[in-house]
Chains A and B, each alone.
Chain A
Amino acid sequence: MKRIGVLLIVLLLALHLIGCGRKKEESNNFEFATWAAGAELTDLREIVDKVNEAAAGEYVIEIQSIPSDYYVKISTQIAGKHSPDFFWMTQELVSKYAELGAIANLTSQFNESERLKPEEYYEGVLASATYKEKYWGLPWIANPMLVYYNKTMFEQIGIKVPTPTDDWTWEEFIQIARELTGKENYKGESTYGYVVDGWPNIETFIWAGGGDVIGEDGKTILLDSNESLKGVGYLQTIIAEGLTPRYAEIASLGSNNVWFEKQRVGMYMGGLQDNFEEKVNKMSEEAKFEIGYAPMPVCDDGTSWSFDWTASTVMKKDLEGNKLAYKALEDLTLAFFEWKVAPPVKNSVENVVKIAPLKDKAIETIEFTLLGARSANYVPEWSDINDKLWYNLYVKLLNDPTFDYKTEMKSIAEYSRGKIAARK
């Protein structure tokens, strides 16, 4: 009896294995890898189905969902010469994959296209898919940072609220944070002005002083300039004066945004993906509050930047110059613009309200913010530099506001110069 059972299992196995032999690869079949999973994947599938329908058999796009360890799988597939034809890529990695020759250069097709031109994109957003003056991907989402504030709390304390396109400075921002700190919320819990726990990222503060990590040429390190040092000084002030909850305390509520939702902080720098409006709608009457929107404070050099996170869809190297593949990629990207906030192209702000109706009150700020949206000037060595900025600088400041950040920034700057000089 037992032996028959074992035999059955082996047989079943063999049958199954034969059943899933290799799929035939056809040249008009494109595999598209995405980190979307769960509910997001369901939405995405609908979009891809529509694109396939419109293509009417000219090409077919198939989805490969990678719910975890996305880049481990992507890079493994590339190494095994089984790269997906298109895949999403975050802005920090574009330069690395481009430098290593793993993704296609889209420049000429992008420039020649009539349907989606480089000029249509917000400049700062497109820069995140640009490396060495060439285009390596089509951005499909822009997620710039803006300031959400608790209007109810501001009015109770008697603080003048910023306007949707305010030109407030960092000094003014910090002053407001001071006034919000140490008050009581509706539950009698003590409040803070603002919350910092690694988010907003260090770039935001470095820019605040008018500085930057790396210059636009992708070579010059500006991290130890006086402007950069001054910018991190703002971060130091916020931590030292206790305008933010203690670092060890923040995760206690789950994550930093919960502090804003529970009215423990008055201001929060977040992206468009933060769905505070939806959450507030679901709250009990006493827990509800009115959300206000303001752009990021103006940097000391008068520029007004908002850190933006953009993802692009990139194409595998082997398909470089392939017309059909580019068309499919373009169709896919155009379809994404109807799906996610904010679309990274100009003149589409009205889409934001269509996609996310609850953001209607934020629209003026969003439009303003998108114009100044940008990312850092990423280079292939970014992951190493970023590691140092996080572990050796940011974390140390969070734990100890008296930390000598200036010396550390100078030493990270030297380290970064060495890394970039060693590039082959």
Chain B
Amino acid sequence: MRKQSAGFLFILPWLIGLVLFTLAPMIAAVYISLTDWTIVGEANFIGFDNYTHLFQSEEFYKSLWVTVRYALLAIPLIIATSLAISVMLDKGHKGVGIFRVVYYMPAIVSGVAVAIVFKWILDPNFGLINSILTFFNIKGPDWLYDPDWVLPSYLIMAVWGAGGSILTYLAALKDIPQDLYGAAMIDGAGTLQKVRFITVPMMTPIIFYNLIIGIIGAFRKFTDAYVLGGAGKEGNFIMVYLYEQAFNHYNMGYATALAWVLFAIILTLTIIVNATKKYWVHT
């Protein structure tokens, strides 16, 4: 009994904040999604019209498809890359501190600056990647200017920014008791085996965290896509579509309905992942 109330007290400040700052706007957003609100004009109740229109809109399906494809590829790619980098950066060699800072650097610049730099890196003619390819006599693709290469362009950016989650892994790696490795060593385990049987299982709570955050992040991908776009509307992620509907076309009611659909998708995925938690997350 005592344990019950104590736990509740610890989360109480957050709960108060939830009621004060989060719940009211969310309830307002439910209502807004049922109106034709244009931000600067009056809001008229129109029932579920926004939702009906949404599910008939080709653009919605297109942007959803762009986002889903990106999420499916980017999330595992980012987790694998950042986990690999973190394992490497968990060594005690000299200078490792500098490397940690360097690999975390991509996460400290805001999305706009990253987008600007990548515009130059991916430039079809004089961009960094294509210049290197030309050096090897390979003709590089048009990247963001070619609908087929827009998704790979965004994946490159995602992998480059994967260092952003290394801090979470590093913090957790520190907690793996060293004697586990010692024991494994005595059993004759190699490096890869150690990673596979000790590091990864011990890290699963943090991988779980990064998976959920990754799903939310991928479905809400916005800044660089908004700045860079992409040929054939292949860079039109669902949040870009939402933002344009809300602030370029002033269809806030419709955009809010879109937000709720996005919310439902992310929530469903999270519940599914959460249900699998007991099978793979080590506690």
CB within 8 Å of B: which residues of A?
A: 69, 71-72, 75-76, 78-79, 96-97, 100-102, 247-249, 251-252, 383-384, 387, 391, 395, 399
Contacts and interface: CB of A to CB of B under 8 A. Distances in A.
Contacts of A247: 145
B41 interface: yes
Interface stretch (B87-95, B121-129, B180-188): B121-129
A76 B247 CA distance: 10
Q: Which 10 residue pairs across A and B have the least CB separation, nearest first?
A: A100-B41, A102-B40, A248-B145, A75-B39, A252-B125, A248-B124, A78-B40, A383-B249, A248-B142, A252-B126
Nearest to A399: B231
A391 B147 CA distance: 13
B42 A101 contact: yes
B247 A72 contact: yes
B123 A252 contact: yes
A391 B229 CA distance: 11
Contacts, number: 50
Nearest to B244: A387
6 contacts: A69-B247, A76-B39, A79-B40, A100-B40, A100-B42, A387-B249
Contact of B233 (A96, A97, A101, A391): A391
Contacts of B39: 75-76, 78-79
A248 B126 CA distance: 11
Given A383-B250, A395-B231, 13 more contacts: A75-B247, A78-B40, A100-B42, A247-B145, A248-B142, A248-B145, A249-B125, A252-B124, A252-B126, A252-B127, A383-B248, A383-B249, A387-B244
* Interface range for B: 20 to 34
A251 B40 contact: no
Contacts of B123: 251-252
A384 B249 CA distance: 7
A248 B233 contact: no
Contacts of A79: 39-40
Nearest to B247: A72
B125 A248 contact: yes
Contacts of A96: 250
Contacts of A100: 38, 40-42, 250
B119 interface: yes
Contacts of B38: 100
Nearest to B143: A248
B252 to A, nearest CB: 9
A96 B126 CA distance: 41
A373 B99 CA distance: 58
Contact of B41 (A101, A248, A384, A391): A101
A399 B146 CA distance: 9
A407 B128 CA distance: 39
Contacts of A71: 247
Contacts of A387: 244, 248-249
Q: Which of A75, A97, A247, A391 has the most CB of B within 10 A?
A: A75
A399 B40 contact: no
B45 to A, nearest CB: 14
Interface string B3-46: 00000000000000000000000000000000000111110000
Interface string B28-70: 0000000000111110000000000000000000000000000
A97 B40 contact: yes
B41 A102 contact: yes
A251 B119 contact: yes
Contacts of A384: 249
**Central interface residue in A71, A248, A391, by most chain B CB within 10 Å:** A248
A100 B41 CA distance: 5
Given A100-B38, A100-B40, A249 B247 contact: no
Interface in B224-272: 231, 233, 244, 247-250
